[in-house]
Amino acid sequence: MPKPKESLNPFEEAQEQIDRAGKKLNLAPDLLELLKHPKRELHVNFPVKMDDGHVKVFTGYRVQYNDARGPFKGGIRYHWNVSIDEVRALACWMTWKCAVMDIPYGGAKGGIICNPKEMSKSENERMTRRYASEISIIIGPEKDIPAPDVYTDGQTMSWIMDTISMQKGYTVSGVVTGKPIPIGGSLGRDEATARGAVYATREAAKRTKLNLKGATVAVQGFGNAGSHYARLIQDEYGAKVVAVSDSKGGIYSEKGFDPKQVLAYKEKTGSVVGFPGTKKITNEELLELPVDILSPAAMENQITSENAPRIKAKISAECANGPTTPEADDILYKNGVLVIPDILANGGGVTVSYFEWVQDLANFFWTKPEVDQKLEGVMVRAFDAVWKMHEEKKCDMRQAAYMVAINRVAEAYKWRGIYP
């Protein structure tokens, strides 16, 4: 029996998206087949000495999906559920995200099967450095540039950069992005995903004749992307944030509230729940509120065929990766909800990662206003290209974004040809 579509393994889902977009673009079947497979996969099993003296063997991956448009780019995640199919799918999606943003990168992703919550800082460092050493044969500023992802951060990237630098005998700052500022990080990187999503929301509001001043906003997920998104859309565009949530639940107030105060409250108490003057709601209820703008900024598969008919927002700006299932997409499109898909909406993060890499290679760093201005230009051009495809092909924005991206990668192949 075929699996129901909503429970496809992530890589099969990624391949299905390529099929759907490729057929609409009338791509040659052999080219379509080429785009459905990663170029290279590295599986590594390596020993790490734990604090109590015993040696534990970890398994890690680095999947390099496609480099037709430039060096591979993509995060490294540490998680107990990391699987090769998940890493393949994420590397595939990174390929399309870089292409839709029109930055000269291909897609990659890495991961280690581990539980960082149960590891000390020194164990994490030894694991990171050994993994960096194992994948050092395929990464480098001109080859493949990793970045942070789930349960990895600027410290993780610093260890990787230092490990590669020690092997080379000189500082290689461009081998990773998402680094702290003192060792070659870029200003504006911490809020880049959210800022990019806000620019995309602004462009969507223009097209749908929605005035952002006073528009009501609900944000599911109040981590880095969600908290910055709420703050920026309220402070810079005058929207009214009426609901936010985290893993413990959500808060709602018709009158709205200041996201900066909510963030301070969350840092003090561990959750947004209980913020004065708001009523408690569930994450599920937040998605169905009667708001103008919804931003799913938490986990994947939050909007499904079950709850999609009850989504009342005019615009859904996906700060998270994969928050909407394919079935839900069809329902939202039919109901007139404009979805700004993840590979477009949250492309600001990889764009400023690209800026960081450019600055590292040039050893010349930009001011925060310069970074923001360049990001705005990239986001607006990417949104315009996707909107044009959406109108031309009369399809939803996700399909349009995939078609723009896949078309760009296919064009690169047509010019480059097949070696030898």
Strand order across the beta sheet in which 40-49 lies: 40-49, 55-66, 106-113, 72-79, 144-148
| Separation between Cα atoms, residue 307 and residue 330, nearest integer Å | 12
Length of the chain: 420
Cβ-proximal residues to 321 (8 Å cutoff; 6+ apart), any chain? 90, 93, 300, 342, 346
Taking CA 299 as the corner, what is the angle to CA 298 and CA 300, rounded to the nearest 5 degrees?
A: 135
9: left (phi over 0), alpha (psi -120 to 50) or beta: beta
Exposure string for 374-386, b = 16+ CB within 10 A, e = fewer: bbbebbeebbebb
- The H or E element spanning position 163 is helix 154-168
Q: Which amino acid is at 145?
A: I
CB-based contacts of 72, cutoff 8 Å, min separation 6: 64, 65, 66, 105, 106, 107, 108, 143, 144, 145
The enclosing H or E element of 65 equals: strand 55-66
Identify whether the C-beta of residue 303 lies closer than 8 Å to the C-beta of residue 287.
Answer: yes
Residue keyed to tokens 């992802």: 149
- Residue 123 has which token pair? 């164990």
Asked whether the beta carbons of 171 and 165 are under 8 A apart, the reply is yes
What does each C-alpha distance from 268 to 222, 261, 275 come to in angstroms?
14, 11, 11
Q: What are 148's two structure tokens? A: 């942070």
Residue 268 tokens read as 């003090």
Catalytic residue among 5, 23, 73, 109: 109
Decide: 178 and 185 in contact? Cβ < 8 Å. yes
Q: Is 394 a catalytic residue?
A: no
Active site residues: 109
